[in-house]
Chains A and B, each alone.
Chain A
């Protein structure tokens, strides 16, 4: 197998594994649009990272977490309905990112690869980021699994039972931020949310417990990556979108199975 294909496969599988459990939380907590908004702001993170000469992955994580904090505080003030607020933030931060990039002199950025991903151009360094970030995310998730789940079922109950819900909420945002930074290389900012929610939604039909759903979501994500890469190689289609199309097909297929 070609070296670039192997790296793409390893990178895609790494992202799919962490996206499974985290995507399940995005589905359970109805955070799909929230995730989209954070993903859109990632491009602004890239621009700021170049401007201040920071590591781009780190800049994206920081940008996502800052935006998440801003979103939560604006949501509490109830200035405007949450979905409108998310819509405003998503598209303004994406546009701000595009405008900021155009101001950067002497920098040539392949915009398409940030918007739609460039799975076939994954480097060794990217793989280190994916697997390092992935280990961190999975470890944090394992530690926080029960509090996160209790907080997802009912926030008031969780608080009465002594779970520090603000801390848990912050941790979840941080985790989503890391996954977005890492997954940006694979499917790009416009398609990241699909990698979080489609495998999780497909896994719902196969699962009886939250843990099963997280596991099946990872598995379905991995299958999507393999199918997408194979299709991309076979028919010379763009790799990121091919992965998403495969995931969508698996979702449709999961609905033809009897529900458990």
Chain B
């Protein structure tokens, strides 16, 4: 497997005790593209992000990154002790040696320049996310890693934030890797989706993934509810720990199983394209 992707993960595995949390995961991140990692709670998304960031070493597998890669990281949550007096400005200065003009510029880009002198602890969820995004931008990242960037933000705010991320990609020409658990929200602003449940269930263009039987199986009746009402056959099942108990042709074999096509009766969308094989 030789390709010239910006970042490549190959056959990454990680166990926590007896739990095989990350199972043989391989994928590429292309420069100047938005890649979205999607999966249910406890599917190993955040762990995979930590591996990509170098915060967690995998048991096996390789992560190919350019030397001296500048990463802008936005963690899922930011808890700052109330005893620590910290203004937005001072928080931004911790990231990089930046001038006041650069800090103001980064805050303007995410529309929160008015918060410059506010204490961090008094910000709302959406404001905190934007400030963290601005701080990540201050480092002029080649790769932006966003772990659940819209957490604690209302629906309108979520759409705005995803649009903002797409604008940032265009303006800064950086690769974006983000975690989400709602595919339909990110669909418009993502180039590639990776669906994870410890192993990669399917990946590819968001339209294709959203129609993939393994994706629907994973998000099931309740999770993918805003898709439409699908009646479908699981082509593999997961037990309570997310382990696959039946065979799962979406990962193992190249041809799609015949039953998945007849069982899938999406009202408007036809199942299209072939599935990508993790």
Which residues of chain A have a CB within 8 Å of any CB of chain B? 27-30, 146, 149-150, 152-154, 156-157, 159-161, 201, 204, 207-210, 212-213
Contact = CB atoms under 8 A, between A and B. Distances in A.
Interface in B108-166: 119, 139, 145
> Does more than half of chain A's interface fall in helix, strand or loop, or is it mixed?
helix
B221 to A, nearest CB: 35
Given A204-B85, A208-B87, A153 B80 contact: yes
B55 A159 contact: yes
B66 to A, nearest CB: 15
B86 A156 contact: no
B83 A153 contact: no
A154 B83 contact: no
Contacts of A29: 81
A152 B81 CA distance: 9
Contacts of B96: 161
Given A146-B94, A149-B94, A210-B90, A160 B55 contact: yes
A132 to B, nearest CB: 30
Given A28-B81, A207-B85, A212-B85, A161 B55 contact: no
Interface stretch (B20-28, B71-79, B241-249, B261-269): B71-79
Interface of B: 50, 53-55, 71, 73, 75, 78, 80-81, 83-87, 90-91, 94-96, 119, 139, 145
A150 B83 contact: no
A34 B77 CA distance: 25
A115 to B, nearest CB: 28
A117 B159 CA distance: 61
Query: Looking at B73, B80, B84, which has the most chain A CB atoms within 10 Å of its CB?
Result: B84
B84 A152 contact: yes
B85 A208 contact: yes
Contacts of B83: 27-28, 201, 204
B144 to A, nearest CB: 11
B85 A153 contact: no
A210 B85 contact: yes
A223 B261 CA distance: 79
Contacts of B55: 156, 159-160
A146 B91 CA distance: 11
A161 B85 contact: no
7 contacts: A146-B94, A149-B94, A152-B84, A160-B71, A208-B119, A210-B84, A212-B85
A157 B73 contact: yes
A170 B111 CA distance: 39
B91 A213 contact: no
